[in-house]
Amino acid sequence: MQIDTLHDAPIVDSQTSVSAPDMLARDLNARFATASPLEILDAAIHHLFPKRIALVSSFGAESALLLHFLAEIDRSVPVLFLDTGKHFDETLMYRDILAGRFDFTDLRSVEPDGADLARHDPDGTLWQTNPDLCCQLRKVDPLLHALEPFGAWITGRKRYQSRTRAELPLFESLDGRIKVNPLAHLNAADIEAAFKEFKLPQHPLYYDGFKSIGCKPCTLRVADGDDARSGRWAGTDKTECGIHR
Ligand code: SF4
């Protein structure tokens, strides 16, 4: 298969004013529409964005599957963990368990800027009064900085997780980068079957009713039958932290 890179694509289509990353994402969605997660990852890591791609993991529920696939392809791809300072202890423990199991050689902890926190969130309660700014300081800004060397990044999002993700494509463009969502088409049953097949450990809080796990102050258990992400910022109209806007 002939695969273009971001550098090979024209900057802007003069007929449509569509940007190069947008055109590339559209093209890749057509090419990989029926590809498996492993095929998508292999192409993205070895052919589309060699040495220019990272995986971003929350080390939350279901994270082990994408990390397992990455370990099958290439353990040296940088894995970025947004260490917001607000995680459950169980998440940090799970991160260490998975990092040990998969033996990644470039696991990076991405942390908020200390001066920003001292200025805007000195007592650590910003999540109560302005969660959007809290996510900006603890997730969005640190991730943007960490992604500077990369032309693409891999996420573990799935369509089934929420209504707002129901149309999630395999490839997206954002801020001049390509986001690769190799698990987009998997559903809850697929994930559960894969965890069994590959004997993957689940997040310690998963069996306690937490189906999507973010920061401790902003994550609640989910009732059976509800969207997996309905426990995130529950009771507010906030559905995303901002890194996937
Ligand atoms: Fe802050 Fe909550 Fe966002 Fe975490 S999820 S960064 S605690 S607002």
- Report yes or no: 181 and 29 within 8 Å, Cβ to Cβ: no
Asked, for residue 128, whether it belongs to a domain, the answer is: yes
Say how many Å lie between the CA of residue 65 and the centre of ligand 1.
Answer: 24
Angle at CA of residue 50, ends 191 and 159, nearest 5°: 25
What CATH number should be reported for the domain holding residue 39? 3.40.50.620
Number of domains in the chain: 1
Instruction: Please provide residue 161's backbone torsions phi and psi, each rounded to the nearest 5 degrees.
Output: -65, -30
Domain containing 194 equals 20-208
Residue 164 lies in a domain: yes
pLDDT at 126: 97
Residue 45 lies in a domain: yes
Position 67 in a domain: yes
Whether residue 8 is contained in a domain is answered as: no
- Residue nearest (by alpha carbon) to ligand 1 atom 5: 215
In a domain, 6, yes or no: no
pLDDT digits (tens, 9 = 90+) for 96-126: 999 999 999 999 999 999 999 999 999 999 9
Residue 228 lies in a domain: no
The residue with greater pLDDT, 82 or 234, is 82
Query: Would the pTM count as exceeding 0.95?
Result: no
> Ligand 1 centroid vs 33 CA: distance in angstroms?
34
227 three-class SS: coil
pLDDT higher than 80, residue 146: yes
173 in helix, strand or coil?
A: strand
131 lines ligand 1 (CB under 6 A): yes
> Which band of pLDDT confidence, cut at 50, 70 and 90, is reported for residue 164?
confident
User: Is residue 12 over pLDDT 60?
Assistant: no
